[in-house]
Structure 1
């Protein structure tokens, strides 16, 4: 009878441990860019009016930036504060000018609360008739491109979460086994 009780406690501890791992799992995953319009590396003839970035998870509103830098080094987004709709982040563009490669830098607030940065490119094959728009002075919008260049996601590494969950599981199993052993000790 006592062996069953110890086994039961071990099973309960294991289930609780795996549940805690399941709760911690969403914190491990940062948003990942899955699609962009124009597509990464695309050659486009006509200048797009908007840039859209689609992520694998919902993007939290606020503090999201998208910058579009042309081959001339000038910025072409109308505003660096991006529009967020669930998993899609977008920004409107000024009419583009020179032909060549445009870099779309982004910094978004991931579903798990961490910032994710990156960049895509597209090439305008035919020059547009747009003139260089007024350039932003705010340094915070430039950080989206800098973060994209460094590859920094701004998130916490996964290994502390895994180590913490494993430690919690070991402690739970140990406590359950000791409680099971206490049931076998002779009663006085």
Structure 2
């Protein structure tokens, strides 16, 4: 009977550890980039006034940086990126030329870990700056108009995010489950092979 008592005790302790660790692990998961405006790989009528990144949580403004370069490699970013709620917006220079653009971003996730990625879009005409008008799923020059294009971005838009793979809670949960199984197997085997005088 001592074997089963030990196994029950070990299982209870491991279950308690899992209950404490799993919520913390879930809270430590990196933010996920949900969409971009313009969408990754899309072609827009003209260069938008800004590019907008939408995350599942609000990232930390400190350390956030977005660089938008045109086909010649020139940086067309205007000023610093701004964080409002779960959206990060980077304004572009007025009169930015037509062509393919590459957006390289790096933000600090709400769990304080940096994440980064890149995406591209192509503009058929030069931008008009903050007063420009764009068509289709392009980004808007001002933050109030930026949310609608971001929501309509295609699911396949954003490129991979560093550190945003398998959820942390799933890894921790699987590890705890394996520990519970190993502990139970150990105590059962020990009880079966131990001397009968222990009972």
Alignment of 1:139-154 (within 5 A): 153=162
Structure 2 CA distance for aligned equivalents of residues 91 and 64 of structure 1: 10
Partner of 1:77: 77
Q: How many residues align?
A: 157
Partner of 1:126: 125
Higher relative contact order (CA 8 A, sep 6+): 2
Structure 2 CA distance for aligned equivalents of residues 128 and 49 of structure 1: 7
Deviation of 1:50 (Å)? 1.4
Alignment of 1:137-176 (within 5 A): 153=162, 162=172, 166=176, 169=179
Residues 1-20 of structure 1 show CA distances to partners (whole Å, capped at 9, x for unaligned) of: 97886465234213213224
Runs of 5+ in structure 1 lacking a partner? 131-150
| RMSD between aligned residues | 3.9
Deviation of 1:112 (Å)? 2.0
Structure 1 CA distance for aligned equivalents of residues 121 and 95 of structure 2: 12
Confirm or deny: 8 A CA contact 2:34 2:54 kept in the other structure: yes
Confirm or deny: 8 A CA contact 1:26 1:112 kept in the other structure: no
Structure 2 CA distance for aligned equivalents of residues 25 and 154 of structure 1: 14
SS in structure 2 at match of 1:123: strand
Partner of 2:46: 46
Confirm or deny: 8 A CA contact 1:68 1:75 kept in the other structure: yes
Structure 2 CA distance for aligned equivalents of residues 154 and 15 of structure 1: 27
TM-score by length of 2: 0.61
Deviation of 1:56 (Å)? 2.4
Structure 1 CA distance for aligned equivalents of residues 53 and 161 of structure 2: 18
SS in structure 1 at match of 2:74: coil
TM-score by length of 1: 0.64
Runs of 5+ in structure 2 lacking a partner? 130-159, 192-197
Q: After the TM superposition, which parts of structure 1 deviate over 4 Å for at least 4 consecutive aligned residues?
A: 1-8, 165-170
